[in-house]
A = this chain, B = another copy of it.
């Protein structure tokens, strides 16, 4: 998606350690007009899918998912992260590693909000190793829901998450795929 790539080039900052800072428009301060255009792109790309639920994970995915929910006219469900161990039987709970935070947390969704009647679009701001997304897929499939696809704003194409999910047959629609980035020059190369 040209609009997003241009915005990343304009306002993104490449840092050491494969970090791309986009906190001025994507995941701290957030540009809702951009999110609306992203949501419309996914709406067009998944026009053939009977999507009736949007699933994301706290915190950075929620605002994107909210706008996607408006555009798809579907409820939005966000998985909660917790380190507490007191999980009762009424929730799906999966362990997930975080690339950003270098820790492990539990990803939790109430059983009553996802089931076999759901055709789910999973949405998130970033994909790197794909651990968060894999945990959401696992929850959907345990619940008997259909994962229609995965909508990602920025995929780090040099990390294995996106391509690993595609190899398993999932439809991963990343609006910008960064194939390389250079913290010295600030140069960002997108997959065409």
Please give the residue numbers on chain A whose beta carbons come within 8 Å of chain B beta carbons, in ascending order: 23-24, 28-33, 35-36, 58-59, 62-67, 69-70, 73-78, 80, 109-110, 112-113
Stoichiometry, as copies per complex, reads 2
Interface of A: prevailing SS: mixed
For A36, what are the chain B residues with a Cβ–Cβ distance below 8 Å? 70
Nearest neighbor of A62 in chain B, beta-carbon distance = B62
In angstroms, Cα B65 to Cα A109, docked, is 22
6 closest residue pairs by CB, A with B? A58-B59, A66-B66, A63-B66, A62-B62, A32-B69, A29-B113
Nearest neighbor of A53 in chain B, beta-carbon distance = B29
A75 touches which of B30, B65, B67 (Cβ 8 Å): B30
In angstroms, Cα B112 to Cα A7, docked, is 18
